[in-house]
Chains A and B, each alone.
Chain A
Amino acid sequence: MPTATKTVAVTGNQAVAEALRQINPDVVPAYPITPSTDIVQRFSEFVNNGEVDTEMILVESEHSAMSAAIGASAAGGRVATATSSQGMALMWEMLFIASGYRLPIFMALVNRALSAPLNIHGDHSDGMGMRDSGWIQLWSENAQEAYDNMVMAPRIAEHMDVRLPIIVCLDGFIISHSIESMKYLPDEEVKKFVGEFAQLNPLLDTDNPKSIGALVLPDYYMEHKRAQHEAMLKVKKVVQDVSAEFAKLSGRKYEIFETYRLEDAEVVLVSLNSAAGTIKDEIDRYRDKGIKAGLLKPRLFRPFPYEEVGAALKNAKAVCVMDRADSFGGYGPMFMEIASALYPHKGPVLFNKIYGLGGRDLMPLDVDQVIDETVEVAKTGKVKMVKEYITVRN
């Protein structure tokens, strides 16, 4: 039975900060950057008003934020932080170390474009840029999903089969700063759900001294990485289990990806995060016109559920993958995953649109054009251009 929940009108950042307050991590190292600053500010208020007993470390850079998170987590407790864009870029070196040391740190990433040119608005360059760093990635369409993912994050990261860091993505401004109606779980329920955390081999257990972070030469490096790969293989099942448990608590069901009218769809769009909302509306309109349109929205992007995504898309005629980030000189980052997922199948014709960079709006009309083109591709089986920028002045 879903527990009593409180309906609120809040921004995405507020929702994430609230989840962090309810989780009450032991240590939060943080550094401000738009659009995630707000999470850090709100959390600082919780700390200074005694609403959490977290120790914050107001570090002098994001590199130090992640370094301190690594030290704190290895020391033996729960650690969270939040960042965006350049902050994420500055953390890059340390992200691989957090995952290599198997530290279940959890972090909100309020997605923002990367410089240059400097831009503070939403796109997915930061999240895509760190996708190979060994962190689990959950993406969220709206404030509710961001909150729910954040509440589930420690459970997934800290699961004994996993022990890996996790990131929860939400779109900068579009979600982080817009007010939405959503539901909070009661404090006690969140506390019970996330439970107590016991670090493996904590550094502060000084009676049992240990060395973390050895130099590893070619004779052992590969074994370390193989063990890390194994942990990633276990993530999917854990995400499914934790999500099922969360559904019992909240009444909100999450899969590793969301499908919208996909069952019998012939033309399919694939999109992450907030754009999915607009796309769903347009799909409804096309369905009303008798066009079998559908959407697949990945939630778990790392590890990527190739088999399941492949199976979900294989019967479509045409699939357009919408990337809110570019991999310069390559196809869009999500396109590459979808193409890999479909590789074992005869499957649909695939093409790729790059949209919405640096906060450029994706309007219903833009989505309509994409659907129209997908319908055309489904019909002819021919693609004009595999990768194309849209929502851009030509």
Chain B
Amino acid sequence: MRKNCMFLWIMAFLLFGFINPVLAVTTDMYENSDTGYKVIIEDDANLLSYNEEQSLADSMEKLTEYGNIAFKSISKNGYGSASRYAEKYYHETFGKESGTVFLIDMSQRKIYIFSDGQNYKTITKSKAETITDNVYKHASNKEYFECADEAYSQMYTILEGGKIAEPMKYISNALIAVMLALFANFAIFKIATKNRAASVNEQIKECAFSCTHTNPSVRQTGEHRVYSPVSDSSSSGGSSGGGGGSSGGGGGHSF
């Protein structure tokens, strides 16, 4: 019974995989002979002309220095969200390799950039958001080629900058180390040399103290009221979002 159940699940999963548009035919436009990274353009939504595709492929070539680079446009999204689609598409096309995909999801009217591997270290989620933020207006104006071309050009700038940023990382680490060391030493010194004043309790212990009193008498003197509205003060527990498991990430923008 249990095994059957499992089998059904696997079948369902496979079926879902087959009708999945992600498994469309891929066309390699270019492969970098030094790095082995590829350029892939899949214009399922027919947004680009043949010439535009060639021209886009040319400008995408230089990005293969850092990772795979893909253009994908879709008119139907079986995953519901552009980010989820981009992630699935990328992993099924390139696996865990370094690279970036630029997705135009016409069904959601959304553009999305997803990166993984080494590329994700430079084209981070916030970087992807910045880029899509910069180019979504082209998509709104139906200038899909300009939109994609501009996005790749900005990605390239960031990736090139990432190369320059490498020494920056060492400088940053060194400065952080200096800062932490200074602070640690400072804190240690402060604690080791603190002259703590004797507390009132310590002082009092040394006093000769005696105290007796008669049974207290209690007399009511009046009454006062305090404003305190009746309310259902049930506090709600915080909900924490779980997740994780997948590497890589990206950002997008509606258009």
Partners in one complex: no
